[in-house]
Amino acid sequence: MISHPDAGKSTLTEALALHARAITSAGAVHAKGDRRGVTSDWMELERERGISVTSAALQFGYRGHVMNLVDTPGHADFSEDTYRVLAAVDCAIMLVDAAKGLEEQTRKLFAVCRHRGVPVITFINKWDRRGRDALTLLEDIETHLGITPVPVVWPVGNAGNLRGLVEAGNTEQMLRYTKVPAGTHAALEEQLSSEQAAEQEGETWTTALEELELMLSSGPGYDQEAFEAGKISPVFFGSALTNIGVKLLLDAVVDLAPAPGPRPLAKGGSREVGEEFSGLVFKIQANMDPAHRDRIAFVRVCSGVFERGMHVTRAASGRSFATKYAHTVFGAERTVVDTAYPGDVVGLINASALRVGDTLFTGKKTEFPPLPAFAPEYFAVARPTDISRSKQFRKGVAQLDEEGVIQVLVSDRRGDQAPVMAAVGPMQFDVVLHRMEHEFSSPIALDQLSYRVARITDADGAAALAKARLINGEVLTRRSDDVLLALFADKWQLNAFQRAQPDILLQPLIATA
Ligand code: GDP
């Protein structure tokens, strides 16, 4: 589920899970005010800031299907993590606040879905409150995202005056919602025939039908292939808080979202879901729980059956290891998992050899393409404030790099004693400062650098940069995967350099803007 913060992601997660009866009371998923005694240092930072830093995977069954809902941290500065999560999913639900329309973070996340070919279902939320009109919202999606919105459900009544919903495939019926007395949020649902709707709702009903008709006649209509190819996005309206339209959305996930399919391999070809086990490590998280000082590698099962205790091979090193500790993890809850199937997410505890982007497999050698690295826009030099702790410093920096908390760059000018930390958003620095001090006992200082633009280059580019930097300060750095990155103060400096040296490779990373 992707959205700008506050669009209602947690609320909708709860509502979906409640419909599928995965949890027993609303609030159990994201108890924002009360984290049920979770006291890890890390969560402390999260609590101080009141934002969600963790991602989780929630599994539930519905209509004979199993769904894995992967949450993503909403805050823009943790977006690198979010972007990687999108590498592990088959479909995304894009949540839009009816009053705010398309917000920045939604656009960025949508761009990543497009880049990765992830089909997107749109849910326009908070229709119980005043907001924009439906046609304008869809027009914005079309213009700004370049995807054709195809309504599957249409609101009866403007935002703030929601009377009910009508399904594009069944305009003979209106689903009417009535607020119920305080104490429970869920609105009461009734089914009205179109005659009853016309009689009781009058113009509101006819307007809804006209608007829906207008949208359907001017657009291409729903087409499964176009949806899976990312050309159209089926659109739903509702209110997560009052539980309106949530069931229709859940049904759509079952009916429309593609089931796990073959995954392309780095060297061409693909791994079919029916082959032996393979999985992709899309996230590594340390110290989720202070009772177990550990680190969890989240693996999306891509093919075959995962069985706890099985020996799997890590493609990058060719080494095999036993998956003794496998859990499903959601928030602070852990359950031991014995078997998992394609699409499921397994947390491997203390698998310290694993890195973000790793492929695991049994049988025939399998390697998925590397996860995309996103263009960092903030840079700072890290140095230990207590030099007697340089061993802890190195260990901490290496671990944060492996977890993908931040990109660690070694600059030719500063050497590896003063690594450059590169972030997509500045709040990643806060996580680094906090964890270096509290987890690795090596407090650090971060000196901000004035670069804003990074480009991938090669050996020739490196040589050209080495000559040029004496005059205007471009810097060459090396990432831990040995990719060379050239840093520039801004686009103008980059363009000037490229004009002067048109043959030099300066390749953009995946932009999130
Ligand atoms: P997140 O940051 O995207 O996870 O958003 P939350 O689920 O925490 O919701 C942010 C705020 O919007 C909360 O105060 C919710 O109660 C409120 N909210 C969420 N969905 C709705 C809705 O459908 N209608 C209204 N009126 N408020 C909502």
For residue range 266-280, what is the model confidence (pLDDT) as tens digits? 999 999 999 999 999
Q: What integer pLDDT is reported at residue 221 of this predicted model?
A: 87
11 touches ligand 1 (CB under 6 Å): yes
State the average pLDDT over residues 429-437. 90
**Pocket of ligand 1 contains residue 328 by CB under 6 Å:** no
- Enter the tokens of residue 359: 């492929």
Cα(241) to centroid of ligand 1, in Å?
A: 7
Please, which pLDDT band fits residue 452 given cuts at 50, 70 and 90?
very high
- Ligand 1 centroid to Cα of residue 162, in Å, is 17
Averaged pLDDT for residues 173-202 = 85
**Average pLDDT of span 133-158:** 96
Q: Is the CB of 9 under 6 A from ligand 1?
A: yes
Ligand 1: which atom is nearest the Cα of residue 11? 7
pLDDT for 54: 40
Q: Is the pLDDT of residue 15 over 50?
A: yes
Ligand 1 mean position, distance from CA 150 (Å)? 24
pLDDT digits over 197-208, tens only?
999 999 999 999
Query: How far apart are alpha carbons 411 and 406 in whole angstroms?
Result: 15
Distance 335 CA to ligand 1 centre (A): 28
> Phi and psi at residue 218, in whole multiples of 5°?
-90, -15
Query: From the CA of 60, how far away is ligand 1's center (Å)?
Result: 22
The per-residue pLDDT for 213 is 95
**What is the pLDDT at residue 473?**
59
Distance 426 CA to ligand 1 centre (A): 25
Place 476 in a pLDDT band, splitting at 50, 70 and 90: confident
- Write the ipTM: 0.99
**How many Å apart are CA 373 and CA 83, to the nearest integer?**
9
Please state the rounded mean pLDDT for residues 201-217.
95
Interhelix angle 390-403/427-438, rounded to 10 degrees, is: 130
Is the torsion defined by CA of 74, 78, 79, 81 positive or negative?
Answer: negative
Mutate to test the pocket of ligand 1, among 185, 241, 249 (most ligand atoms within 8 A of CB): 241
Question: Can you state the percent helix, strand and coil of the chain, rounding each to 5?
Answer: 30, 30, 40
Predicted confidence at residue 33, as pLDDT, reads: 37
Give dist(CA 191, CA 189) in Å, integer. Answer: 7
Nearest CA, atom 16, ligand 1: 241
Nearest to 81 by CA among 354, 425, 453: 425
Distance (Å, whole) CA 194 – CA 162: 17
Residue closest to 298 by CA, chosen among 94, 59, 49, 18: 59
Q: How far is the CA of 161 from the centre of ligand 1 (A)?
A: 18
What pLDDT does residue 98 have? 97
Looking at 26-76, list the stretches that DSSP marks H as alpha helix, in order from N- to C-terminal side. 41-49
Would you say residue 101 has pLDDT above 70?
A: yes
CB distance 106 to ligand 1 below 6 Å:
no
What is the number of the ligand 1 atom nearest to the C-alpha of 7? Answer: 3
- The four Cα atoms 208, 209, 212, 217 give a dihedral, to 10 degrees, of -150
Side-chain-side CA neighbours of 12 within 13 Å: the count stands at 32
pLDDT value at residue 333: 56
In terms of Cα–Cα distance, which of 247, 175, 249, 253 is closest to 208?
175
Let me know: does 419 contact 351? Beta carbons within 8 Å: no
What number of CA atoms fall less than 13 Å from residue 433's CA on the CB side? 13
pLDDT of residue 46: 42
pLDDT at 53: 35
Contact 242, 188 (CB under 8 A): no
Residue 175 has φ and ψ, to the nearest 5°, of -95, 115
| Ligand 1 center–CA 10 separation, angstroms | 7
Q: Does ligand 1 lie within 6 Å of residue 366's CB atom?
A: no
Ligand 1 centre from 353 Cα, in Å?
Answer: 39
**CA–CA separation, 475 and 498 (whole Å):** 14
486 close to 422: Cβ distance less than 8 angstroms: no
Q: Is 74 in the pocket of ligand 1 (CB under 6 A)?
A: yes
| CB-neighbour burial class of residue 491 (10 A; exposed 0-12, middle 13-18, buried 19+) | exposed
Give, in order, the Cα–Cα distances in Å from 159 to each of 100, 131, 243: 12, 5, 15
pLDDT of residue 168: 95
Find out whether 372 and 115 touch, Cβ atoms under 8 Å.
yes
- Candidate of 4, 10, 11, 30 to mutate for ligand 1, largest count of ligand atoms within 8 Å of Cβ: 11
Closest-lying ligand 1 atom to the alpha carbon of residue 244: 23
Q: Phi and psi (nearest 5°) for 158?
A: -70, 165
Q: Are 2 and 86 in contact (CB under 8 A)?
A: yes
104 closest CA partner among 143, 145, 138: 145
CA of 9 to the centre of ligand 1 (A): 7
- Of ligand 1's listed atoms, the one at least distance from the Cα of 12 is 7
> pTM of the full predicted structure?
0.83
| Per-residue model confidence (pLDDT) at position 290 | 56
In DSSP terms, which residues pair with 454 in a beta bridge?
487
